[in-house]
Structure formats: structure tokens, C-alpha cells
Amino acid sequence: MNTFFGTLWHRISVSNKEQLIWFGAVVIIMIVLAVLHHKWKGDKKKIRLWRGLCFLPAVIAAVHAIIYLVGFPLFVVGFFPLYAVALFALLPIPFAKRKIGYKITAVLAGLVTCVMGFYNIGMSPDYFNHTKESYTESFHSMVQDMDKHYVLKEWKEVDFAALEAKYMPMVTEAEQEQDEEKFTDAVMMFCAELHDGHVHVVTDDKARIEGCISYTVSYKPREYGLAMVQLDNGDVIAVCTTADVQKLGIKDGTVITKWNGKDILTACAEEVPNLGMSVKENAERIAAIVLSGVGGDTIEVSFLDSNGTEQTVTLKDLGDPHTQLEAFRLYRHFEKLGAENEYDSILAENFSTKMLDDKCGYLRITAESSGDDLYDIFIGYMTGNHAKAREMFREKLRGLKAQGMEYLIIDIRNNQGGYDEIANALCDLFSTEDMDHYAVGVRKNGVFKSTSTHGIKGDGEFADLKVLVLTNYGCLSAGDGATLYLSMMPNVTVAGLTDSYGCNQETGGISALTGGHIYVGFPVGPVLDGNGNPNIDTRKDCVSRNPVDVRIPLDYDAAMKIFRDKEDYELNWAMQYLRSNA
């Protein structure tokens, strides 16, 4: 129970106090209505008055909607408990004079109020509607929202006033020109400075509170008919080349030496825009892919021909960019990356299992979500013990063992996050000891304090099983947590071409900006490690706090397998690693 109340206190601490007051006002009215009905039920005049008073919650809800929803109706996702209670307050009206009918409807309304009240106390969102403000006003308001509520302000040493001053001239220019695209770019560039995977900018054509597709760059990539990737030895080679550049002598595997006259590694360091990635090393590893879309209508590219002689050609922008995206898809082994159904496609693979050969089992985890939201939130999260997930993992691993599994690959590449308790539930089966490695807490004046420990409960059934975990920079949030917690297990090795993304705090803050065409999401709830510091998230230096145990090599042959042959090189490498170390 201490975990439950500690978690509840954590949720209350990050809830929007303004919204709690609104909901509290409706609850008080509901209580008063119940008392008045008890006193007035025998008086026809007073019962008529009572029926009129039952509309008060609905009136409050309507006023609330005018203030908070107009301009950005998606906020109804967070405010629905208030509206649900106001709606159920009307239910007893027709039965005010009927003893049994009133009791049934009053009890039902009371139950809904209690359930929605509990939800509202724990989940009251930090939503801020600035849609009626100008570009400059809404930008300033967003900065104020984040300055007050962004959970990592002190941890990342963010000077919001300085950042506002840096980008306000661009916002002012956008306002003068009524250029929504320039305004969006300013907001994106501002958010990228935070280097936090949980800070995202979303535009209305992709606007979804859950599973949103966010802006990731503040430039429009060009299409030059090739992408590039940097190998471990420092060489940058062309990949995903099209017929247009192949005719000029650049093929898959060709070494690129210069980009627009600048040494290729210098160009990777100086010309690539800030993507806002949490881990500096991850950003450096994909810099060459990003650079392949950076330039003007034409670009000069120098490369080594088959004789080792440097040649220079001019490439034209071919229009609709696709090569760079294809390279990212292959690098992350994410076929639907950038597609409308990317989130749904990856969720369809969640918790799937199979045997890769007669000895190697495979478990895919794309999100820490059981599909049962009520259990995930009200039992798993609130108590810190997701028994349902633990038994699900137990059953799946036993099934693989029955098929001859001697070692296991857990694939959490591109994991979209969810609840850390589900990752802990898997670790329960690999650990013989309890571990207090993760907690939720409160933040006050920049200081963090743990309120509830959500640790590993040593079960140990599969503690002797050799396990390799595959991760990448597309693995974030609770997926980041899974990477870290699994790496703590003595029988587990974590490997990847990159580290995981490097963010683990709880989301919940949203600022909707001018016109409702763009909003910014940011984390507001502290998730802490065993020392009481923010869990996993990088500091100002962007150095990973969750590195892989083994870096999967990326040489020429590996690049050809990934980008030319379209193999799952990482998975094949993992199988060979386990065979060699079993």
C-alpha cells in the first residue's frame, strides 16, 4: 500500500492544480445535490428547484469547454472525467420522485464520480490552450509553461529566458509575414535545444495525442539520389543509390570524400542541423544519413572511383525526398517508418515469439503495454507490481523452452515505450534478488525526491538463460527503461548499432499554439533512479547514461548487408554472438 499511496502522491504533485479545482467544484455540487435531495424529496416545489440545480455541473462543464477546448478540441482526451461527471449528474433528474429509480441513478452517478475523480486526481493533465494568441504571444506562453512545468529544467540546466530571446526574432518575423511554416521551424528549433526525446512538436495534419508523428528536423531534406552512412573506421560510403547517381560513378559502397567541397567528416560535424537527439553519440552515428539530404538545388560530391582516384560530380535535387527515408528505415530495421500506420504496424508485433532456429528463441517487445489500460494504470503502475505481465512473459518463455530454446534474443528496437513496470515484470524472471532501481517522485525547486519505489521482484525462473537484447536509438521512454533494467541482469547482454534514445520521464504537458495547428508536448513527471536522480535522461553534455554492453560493428560488409541486401544484420549478428558465447 505504501507504493500505491506514494505513486498517488507523485501523480497529484504533477497534476494541473487549476483543473483539480474545476473538478473539485463539480464534485462539491454533486455532494450538495445528494444532500438537498434527501432533505427536499417530499416537497414538490423544492424538487423542481433541485432538478434545475442538477444542470449546474453541465453549466460548469460548458464554461470549462469554452475556456479550454475552443481552438483545440483534442484536449477533450484529458478533460473527459469532468464532462463525464457533469453528464451523469443529469441522470437522476427524471427519477427525482421515484425511490428505486433515484437510488439506482444516484448510485450510478456516484460511482462514475468516484472513478472519474480518482482518475482526475491522478491524471489531471498539464494542458495549456494558447490558440487564440498571436505567434509571439503563444510562443512566450509556451516558454512560460515549460519554464514552470518541464521536469528536467534544472537537470539539463535549461535557461528558458535565453532560449526565448534566441528564437523570438524568428517568431516575430514569422508573425509579421504570417508565415506558419517559419513559426513552426522556430518552435522546432527551440525544442531541439532541449535534447529530450519526450519534447516533441506536432502539426495538425498529424495531430494525435497518442502515437503522434512528430517533427524531427527543422529543414526540408533534398533528394540527391543517394544516402550515406559512416562506418566504424571513419569512412563514409554511399548507400541506397539510384540509377541517376550510379550513371555518374557512385554506387552502393562508394567512398564519399567531400560534400559541397568540404571534407565529408567536417561536413557531418558542421552542416547537419540539430535534431534534438538526447545522446550525442547517436546523433554522430546517423549524421551522414542526415547530411545526404542537406544542400541546395545542386550539390558537389567528391568520391573515390574504382581506381582510388578522387572524382567530383554535381548532383541535382530530384524532387520528392525518399532515399534518405529509405536509409533510415533500413538502419533502424523499421519498414513502416514515416508511414501513416507506423505506430500501428509496430504495435502489431508486440510480445510476439518464435524460434529462430532449433536453439535460439526470440521475443519482440515494441511497447511496454499489455493492452489492458485499466490494469496497466490502476494496478501495475499504481502498485509497482505488474503480475499480469510477469505471468504473460513466463508463459511465453516456457513455451519457447518447450520448443528447445537454449538461449534468447529480446528485440526492443524501435520500442515506443509505455509502463516501466512491464519491463520490470520481465526482469523479475531473470533476477534472483529484489532490486530498488527505479522510482517515481516529486520535484520541488529543482530538487527531486522519491515517493514510491517500483523495483524488480526477484523470481529467477529464467536466471540461467543466456539472453541478448537488441536495442537502437528508436527505442525510447519505457523502452529505454527496459534497455537499462535488462542490462542489470547478470545473464543478459545488451547490444546495438547505437545506444537507446536516452529519455525516461513521464509525459503529460502540452501547449497548443496559435490557431491550434501546432502543439508542443513535454515531460512533467519525475522518474528517478536508485540514487534519486532523473532516470536515464542525459544531462547538458548529452552523454548516454544507458550505453549498450556491446556495440555491433558496422564495417563495409555489414553496411552492404543492411542497405544493399536488406538483411536484418543485427539479428543475424545476435544469433552468432549467442552461439559463440552460449
Residue 141 is placed in which grid cell? 506562453
Domain count, the chain: 3
In which domain, by residue range, is 247 found?
227-330
Q: What is the pLDDT of residue 107?
A: 92
Answer whether residue 580 is part of any domain.
yes
Axis crossing angle, helix 180-192 with helix 160-177, rounded to the nearest 10:
170
Cα–Cα distance between 328 and 555 in angstroms, integer? 17
Q: What are phi and psi of 424, to 5 degrees?
A: -60, -40
Residue 196 shares a structural domain with residue 112: no
Whether the predicted pLDDT of 44 surpasses 90: no
Q: Tell me, what CATH number does 304's domain have?
A: 2.30.42.10
Last residue of a domain, one of 71, 105, 124: 124
Say if CB 518 and CB 129 are below 8 A apart. Answer: no
Q: Which DSSP symbol is given to 508? A: E
- Pick from 180-194, 218-232, 249-263, 327-341 the range whose average pLDDT is largest: 249-263
Residue 430 shares a structural domain with residue 503: yes
Last residue of a domain, one of 75, 109, 124: 124
Q: How many helices (H) and strands (E) does the chain have?
A: 22, 19
Closest by CA to 77, choosing from 38, 30, 28, 19, is 19
Cα–Cα distance between 219 and 461 in angstroms, integer? 50
Tell me the pLDDT tens digit for each residue of 163-219.
Answer: 999 999 999 999 999 988 899 999 999 999 999 999 999 886 543 333 333 344 456
Answer whether residue 412 is part of any domain.
yes
Q: Tell me, what CATH number does 420's domain have?
A: 3.90.226.10
Q: Which DSSP symbol is given to 49? A: H
Residue 16 is placed in which grid cell? 494541473
Residue 307 shares a structural domain with residue 430: no
Residue 459 shares a structural domain with residue 574: yes
Single-letter amino acid code for the residue at 418: G
Residue 21 shares a structural domain with residue 68: yes
Answer whether residue 8 is part of any domain.
no
Cα–Cα distance between 338 and 217 in angstroms, integer? 13
Q: What is the pLDDT of residue 340?
A: 84
Only one residue has cell 513466463, namely: 394
Cα–Cα distance between 110 and 309 in angstroms, integer? 81
Last residue of a domain, one of 330, 352, 369: 330
Q: What is the C-alpha end-to-end distance of the chain, expressed in Å?
A: 42
Say if CB 314 and CB 334 are below 8 A apart. Answer: no
Q: What is the pLDDT of residue 189?
A: 93
Q: What is the pLDDT of residue 217?
A: 44
Q: How far is CA 82 from the centre of its chain?
A: 26
CB neighbour burial string for 549-564, b if at least 16 within 10 angstroms, e if fewer: eeebebeeebbbbbbe
Cα–Cα distance between 324 and 224 in angstroms, integer? 9
Distances (CA, A) of 519 to 14, 128, 174, 206, 493: 20, 10, 17, 11, 39
Say if CB 245 and CB 224 are below 8 A apart. Answer: yes
> How many CB atoms neighbour CB 33 within 10 A?
20
Q: What is the pLDDT of residue 218?
A: 55
Residue 369 shares a structural domain with residue 489: yes
Distances (CA, A) of 232 to 325, 362, 558: 22, 28, 10
Cα–Cα distance between 93 and 258 in angstroms, integer? 77
Answer whether residue 557 is part of any domain.
no
Percent of the chain with pLDDT over 70: 97
Cα–Cα distance between 17 and 224 in angstroms, integer? 51
Residue 197 shares a structural domain with residue 264: no
Residue 90 shares a structural domain with residue 136: no
| pLDDT, mean of residues 392-419 | 97
Closest by CA to 426, choosing from 412, 440, 405, is 412
Edge-to-edge order in the sheet of strand 200-203: 126-129, 506-512, 518-525, 200-203
Tell me, letter by letter, the H, E, C secondary structure of 245-290: HHCCCCCCCCEEEEECCEEHHHHHHHCCCCCCCCCHHHHHHCHHHH
Residue 76 shares a structural domain with residue 177: no
Tell me the pLDDT tens digit for each residue of 68-121.
Answer: 999 999 899 889 999 999 999 999 999 988 889 999 999 999 999 888 887 777
Q: What is the pLDDT of residue 96?
A: 87
What DSSP line would sit under 466-501, residue for residue?
EEEEE--TT--THHHHHHHHHHTSTTEEEEESS---
Residue 68 shares a structural domain with residue 158: no
Q: What 3-state DSSP class applies to 428?
A: helix
Q: What is the pLDDT of residue 219?
A: 66
